[in-house]
Homo-oligomer: A and B are copies of this chain.
C-alpha cells in the first residue's frame, strides 16, 4: 500500500469516527487549534522564513501569498475561532414531514466524508480549509503548493495535536508530507477513500485534476464578471460600484472584468465612470462605440470579451439595452458573478430571472459575492460548478444529507 493510499485510508477511518462526535467537540477542536497555533507561533514563522528564503527567486505576487507575517498569522487564528463560533451545519433538518401514512420523513445534513484540498502555496488556506472541512464533520487531506511545505507541516502538526486533545481522531487533518508531484497523481486514484476533491489555482490545473480522477471535483474556474449600467443608473452609485467592483482588488475572481453600459446612459455619467477608472490606473479597452466617445480608449479585440484579466485592465462595451447586455453575459460570462445597476425594479427582476450565474447582484459591488458578505462565514472558495454547490463554498456546502424515515411497522402495500 502506498503512503498516500494509507493516508487516504486513515482519513476515511477518521471520517467514520467524526460522524458520531457532537458539534461541541468539533468547535472545541477548532478553538484548541487556534490556541495551539499561538503556542507554536515562532515555529510557524521560522518555517515560513525558510520557505520564503527558498522562494527568493519567485515573483513578488507569489511571495506575498506564501508569506506568513504577523497580520496573516493573526488572520489564521481569527478564522479558526470564527469557524468554531459559526452555527453547526451537521444534523440540520433541511426538511421534515409526516406522511399521511404516519411515516415521519426527514432530510438531515451530514458530512460529505473525506475531502481533499489541492491549492496554491498559501499557508492561510491550510488553516482555512481545515476549519471549514472540520466544522462540517469532514476529514480533510491538504496538499498545498510545495513551496509552502515547511510552513504547512508545522501548521498541520499543531492542528492534529489540538484535534487529539479535543478527542477527535488526529487523522481528521492530514497533510501530504512531500513535495513530490507523483503524490498528487496517487491522491487522485484514491476513489475508495476520498469523496470530494476541491482544487484551487489555475484553470489548466483544475481541468487536469478533474479529468484525471473518478472522484467528484468541485471546480473553481474563471470569474469573468460583468456589471450592466442601465440608462437610469444614478451617477454617484454607478461610479462607486464600477470603481469598487474593478479596483478594490483587481487580482481576485469576483473582480469586474467587463463593463456593459447602456447607450442611453447620459454622457456625463459615462465620462465620470471613465474618469473614476483612470484615477485608479485602469486601462480601458472599449468597443468602437465607446472609443468614439472616449478619448485615449484602446480598441477591444474579440478576445477581450472572453478574458479574465485579474489585473489593471477593463473591457467596456456599449449595449442597446438590457436584452443585449444579458445576451453578452450569456455568451461571454463564466457564470460566476454578474450585476446590474438600476433604479428600476422591473429591470432588476428581469436581470435576476434571466442571468444564469452563481451570483446575480443588484446595485452591489461584484466584490461582495462571497462567503463573508453573504453570511456564510468561512469558505474554501467560490464554485463555478452547477451541481451540489454553486458560488461560495462554506460549511453547509461541505455537507450532504441523508433521509431518515421513522415508522411503526410501516409496510409497502
A residues adjacent to B (C-beta < 8 A): 16, 19-20, 97, 99, 101, 103, 105, 110, 112-113, 195-196, 210-211, 214, 216, 236-237, 240-241, 244, 248, 330, 348, 352-354, 356-365, 367-369, 373-375, 385-388, 390-392, 400-412
Contacts and interface: CB of A to CB of B under 8 A. Distances in A.
Given A244-B411, A390-B403, 15 more contacts: A19-B354, A19-B356, A20-B353, A20-B354, A112-B386, A216-B385, A241-B409, A241-B411, A356-B402, A358-B403, A362-B406, A364-B406, A364-B407, A367-B411, A368-B407
8 contacts: A19-B356, A20-B353, A244-B412, A357-B402, A361-B405, A364-B406, A365-B411, A369-B403
Contacts of A359: 402-405
- Copies of this chain held together in the complex: 2
Contact of A412 (B20, B248, B411): B248
Given A241-B409, A387-B216, A388-B388, A368 B402 contact: no
A351 to B, nearest CB: 10
Interface of A is mostly: mixed
B388 A387 contact: yes
Which 7 A/B pairs are nearest by Cβ-Cβ distance? A364-B407, A367-B412, A237-B409, A388-B388, A244-B411, A364-B410, A387-B388
A357 B401 CA distance: 9
Contact of A369 (B113, B330, B405): B405
Nearest to A355: B402
B405 A374 contact: yes
Greatest chain B CB density within 10 A among A391, A408, A410 is at: A410
Nearest to A341: B409
A387 B390 CA distance: 12
A241 to B, nearest CB: 6
